[in-house]
Structure 1
Amino acid sequence: MKILIRLLFILAGALALSFLVAKVVLVPIGQWYEMNRAQSESDLSRAFVIALAVQALCVVVGGWLGDRGFRTWRQKQLDRQQRM
């Protein structure tokens, strides 16, 4: 059961950070770049690859943050059990 909860924390962290970065950072920058700076399809595909790399990095960092959140949550549970 503990492994399932840990996986859920990791998945939630990865999805949350990835979604947040996509909506708040990547989409507005991508739209601005497409309208103001991109001169060819090559520029757009290069920007798309960079956005995918940023998304992949956010998934990894979000998973790490989810794991840290699980460890913190688990430690608080253990502390409560020891007090009783």
Structure 2
Amino acid sequence: MQSVTMYTTAVCPYCIRAKQLLSSKGVTAIEEIRIDLDPVEREKMMSITGRRTVPQIFIGDTHVGGCDDLVALNAAGKLEPLLAG
């Protein structure tokens, strides 16, 4: 299974929803990078993704996007193959 990295903040309903979806797909470990605690990481996230909102989700080296992007990927049947690598 691919590694999952997620840029998050403390109180973010979309982050929680994304984690629940990933968990339902068998993801047991998510590396969370809290941008509310580390402004340097916020700047890094924005430079990598071009986005300001959380979550920003990476599966392996692939930038999936936010929670809505993750849900759409799942609905299209593409999430599990991406997680499997």
TM over 0.5: no
Task: Name the TM-score, length of structure 1 as normaliser.
Answer: 0.29
TM-score, normalised to structure 2, is 0.29
User: Could you say which structure has the greater relative contact order, defined with CA pairs below 8 angstroms and 6 or more residues apart?
Assistant: 1
Larger helix proportion of the pair: 1
Instruction: Give 1 or 2 for the bigger CA radius of gyration.
Output: 1
